[in-house]
Amino acid sequence: MSRFLATRAIALAFVMWLVTIIAFTLIRMAPGDPSATMLGSDATPQAVAEFRAAYGLDRPIAVQYLAWLGHVVRGDLGTSIYLGRPVTAAILERLPASLTLTFAAFAIALFFGVVLGLAAAYWRDSWVDRLVSALAALSLSIPSFWLGICLIYLLSVRWPVLPSGGFVEPWVDPWRSLRTLVLPSLALGYLQLGLIARMTRASMLEALRGDYVRVARAKGVSEFRVVVHHAFGNSLIPLLTVAGVSLGVLFGGAVVIETVFTIPGVGRLLVNAVVRRDYPVVQGTLLIVAAWYVLVNLVVDFLYTVSDPRVRLQG
pLDDT beyond 70 at 307: no
Q: What is the C-alpha to C-alpha distance for residues 271 and 256, in angstroms, rounded to an integer? A: 9
pLDDT of res. 311: 57
Left if phi > 0, otherwise alpha if psi is -120 to 50, otherwise beta: which for 78?
left
150-177 pLDDT tens trace? 989 888 888 888 888 888 888 878 888 8
Sequence-ordered alpha helix ranges (H) in 30-169: 34-39, 45-54, 61-73, 87-122, 127-141, 144-152
pLDDT beyond 70 at 310: no
Q: How confident is the model at residue 106 (pLDDT cuts 50, 70, 90)?
A: very high
User: Mean pLDDT: which of 13-17, 274-278, 285-289, 305-309 is highest?
Assistant: 285-289
**What are the domain boundaries of the chain?**
87-314
Identify the CATH number of the domain defined by range 87-314.
1.10.3720.10
pTM, entire model: 0.82
- Region 29-52: mean pLDDT is 73
196-223 pLDDT tens trace? 888 888 888 887 777 777 777 777 777 7
Instruction: Classify the C-alpha dihedral 301-302-303-304 as positive or negative.
Output: positive
